[in-house]
Amino acid sequence: MNIRALRWCGILLVVLPLLVSCDAAPDAPQTSAGVATAQKKTYQDLVVGFSQIGAESEWRTANTRSIQETAQRLGVELKFADAQQQQENQIKAIRSFIAQRVDVIGVSPVLETGWDTVFAEAKKAGIPLILVDRGASVPDDLFSAFIGSDFVQEGQRACAEMARLLNGQGNIIELEGTVGSTPQIDRRAGFEQCLKDYPGMHVTVRQSGDFIRARGKEVMKTILREYGRQFNALFAQNDDMALGAIEALEEEGLKPGVDIKIVSIDAERAAFEAMIAGKLNVTIECSPLLGPQFFETALKLANGEPIEKWVKSNESIFRQDNATLELPKRQY
């Protein structure tokens, strides 16, 4: 079962993690009766491999920082690999972590499919694997936990905010993230589900900007050239693409946030600045600050303790009217 299936079933599983066990404890302490007891690992004992997607957005940079700084603060030995957006690099990194016999593997999968074989290899090696930020379409027993957001809910929230801004009437451009990634698939699904409640609102053009600011600008320029001004709204699946599109709209003499209502996802600092300037209307929060939950879960797994199957992020919605107050509090 994948993350989406877990959501639909409404199941919050508490699982017994994959075992990392006593055979690794030749010098385990003995009780007075001479029976060996397993010694609990601490953060300083942990060796963790993490396969990151790359650096496509401010969000991703903040996520990398959260993982690296938390490892350093806790004293975890972190083996970090940047895949530069390539799934094959992530697969190589996971195989290298298995060969190095790390205690736990973390991975943020660039795409949703294509992981069965390598995840099964990690399972066979007895190394627990945690999905961080993005899900993977694999059987439930091939990963120990998922730590991250509910992307379907983010799409639903974006649509509800759009309906409020447009009074339920409008033609919407959707700028999507990396095609085949969980946030692209789920945010679109959530947005579409909610659109059913608003028959006056339609997504008339949908294109991918790969979650990258420069691509958001480029794609928006092409759309404006091809379709002219037939739109009154933009749903960008992340802030970076929205910020790129804002530049394109301004260069075409349009007023983003006024002529074209804009809702995006992530809630990074630059989005708050754009809201304060009146150019972005709403940002839906998606937290990249996953380092603390990731290492806490990794330590529990290494000690054979029960964990939650889905460690869900708690997130908000930010609008122009609370942007000034919120900006100083933002950590990314």
Question: What amino acid occupies position 98?
Answer: I
Contact region with ligand AHR (CB under 6 A), list: 15-23, 54-62, 157-165, 294-302: 54-62
Decide: is 210 part of the binding site for ligand AHR (CB under 6 A).
Answer: no
Decide: is 265 part of the binding site for ligand AHR (CB under 6 A).
Answer: yes
Nearest-CA neighbor of 103 among 174, 61, 50?
Answer: 50
Nearer to ligand AHR, 147 or 265 (CB): 265
Decide: is 57 part of the binding site for ligand AHR (CB under 6 A).
Answer: yes
Distance (Å, whole) CA 134 – CA 147: 8
Nearest-CA neighbor of 52 among 158, 119, 132?
Answer: 132
Measured CA to CA in angstroms, residue 281 lies from 135, 193, 225, 243 at distances of 28, 21, 24, 12
Nearer to ligand AHR, 56 or 161 (CB): 56
Residue 10 tokens, joined: 């409404």
Distance (Å, whole) CA 70 – CA 65: 8
Decide: is 134 part of the binding site for ligand AHR (CB under 6 A).
Answer: yes
Nearer to ligand AHR, 62 or 98 (CB): 62
Distance (Å, whole) CA 127 – CA 111: 22
Decide: is 64 part of the binding site for ligand AHR (CB under 6 A).
Answer: no
CB 132 → ligand AHR: shortest distance, Å?
Answer: 10
In the stretch 284-303, what mask flags binding to ligand AHR with x, by CB under 6 A?
Answer: --x-----------------
Chain position whose Cβ is nearest to ligand AHR: 59
Decide: is 133 part of the binding site for ligand AHR (CB under 6 A).
Answer: yes
- How do the residues of the chain divide into helix, strand and coil, expressed in percent and rounded to 5? 45, 20, 35
CB 62 → ligand AHR: shortest distance, Å?
Answer: 9
Q: How many residues bind ligand AHR (CB under 6 A)?
A: 13
Q: Using CB under 6 A, which of 59, 115, 143, 318 touches ligand AHR?
A: 59
**Beta sheet of 104-107, edge-to-edge order:** 77-82, 47-52, 104-107, 129-132, 145-148, 310-312
- Positions touching ligand AHR (CB under 6 A) are 56-57, 59-60, 133-134, 183, 211, 238, 240, 265-266, 286
